[in-house]
Structure 1
Amino acid sequence: MLFGRLRKDIQVVFDRDPAAKSVLEVLLCYPGLHAIMLHRVAHFFYRHRLFLIARLVSQFSRALTQIEIHPGAKIGEGLFIDHGAGVVIGETAEVGNNVTIYQGVTLGGTGKEKGKRHPTIGDNVVISTGAKILGSFTVGENSKIGAGSVVLKPVPPNSTVVGVPGKVVVRDGEKVASVSGIDLRHDLLPDPVTEAMFAMQSNVEKLEKRVEELEAALAAVNRKEH
Structure 2
Amino acid sequence: MSFRASVREDIDSVLARDPAATSRAMVVLCYPGLWAVWVHRISHRLWTANWKLAARVLSQMARFCTGVEIHPGAELGRRLLIDHGMGVVIGETAIVGDDVTLYQGVTLGGTGNERGKRHPTLRDRVFVGNNANILGNITVGENSRVGAGSVVLQDVPPDSTAVGVPAHVIYQDGKRVLITDPAQIKDPLSGVIKSLAEEVKRLRARVDCLDGQLEQTARELDSVRSLATEEEEREQYRSELSASNPYVSMGEGI
Q: Same fold (TM over 0.5)?
A: yes
Partner residue, 1:150: 151
TM-score normalised to the size of structure 1? 0.77
| 1:93-116 deviation line (CA, Å, top 9, x unaligned) | 000011000000000000111100
Partner residue, 2:174: 174
Q: Which of the two has greater helix per residue?
A: 2
> What is the SS of the residue equivalent to 1:62?
helix
Partner residue, 1:60: 61
Task: Note the aligned Cα RMSD (angstroms).
Answer: 2.6
Distance 2:14 2:43 in 1: 22
Do structure 1's residue 129 and structure 2's residue 109 form an aligned pair?
no
| 1:169-217 deviation line (CA, Å, top 9, x unaligned) | 126x528xxxxxxxxxxxxx99x8xxxxxxxxxxxxxxxxxxxxxxxxx
Partner residue, 2:109: 108
Task: Tell me the number of residue pairs that the alignment of Structure 1 and Structure 2 aligns.
Answer: 189
Structure 1 position 25, deviation (Å): 1.3
> What is the SS of the residue equivalent to 1:8?
helix
Partner residue, 1:47: 48
Distance 2:102 2:89 in 1: 10
Partner residue, 1:83: 84
Partner residue, 2:33: 32
> What is the SS of the residue equivalent to 1:35?
helix
Distance 1:165 1:85 in 2: 23
> What is the SS of the residue equivalent to 2:159?
coil
| 1:32-64 deviation line (CA, Å, top 9, x unaligned) | 110000000100100001100000110000001
Aligned partner of 1:143: which letter? S
Distance 2:20 2:136 in 1: 34
Structure 1 position 86, deviation (Å): 0.2
Structure 1 position 78, deviation (Å): 1.2
Partner residue, 2:5: 4
Among the aligned pairs, what percent are the same residue? 55
Distance 1:41 1:142 in 2: 28
Distance 1:18 1:147 in 2: 20
Distance 1:68 1:2 in 2: 20
Q: Which runs of 5+ in 1 are unaligned?
A: 176-188, 193-217
Do structure 1's residue 98 and structure 2's residue 106 form an aligned pair?
no
> What is the SS of the residue equivalent to 1:170?
strand
Q: Which runs of 4+ in 1 moved over 3 A?
A: none
Structure 1 position 15, deviation (Å): 1.2
Distance 2:53 2:153 in 1: 31
Aligned partner of 2:59: which letter? S
> What is the SS of the residue equivalent to 2:162?
strand
Distance 2:114 2:96 in 1: 20
> What is the SS of the residue equivalent to 2:169?
strand
> What is the SS of the residue equivalent to 2:85?
coil
Q: Which has the higher contact order (CA 8 A, sep 6+)?
A: 1
Structure 1 position 21, deviation (Å): 1.6
Structure 1 position 22, deviation (Å): 1.2
> What is the SS of the residue equivalent to 1:34?
helix
TM-score normalised to the size of structure 2? 0.69
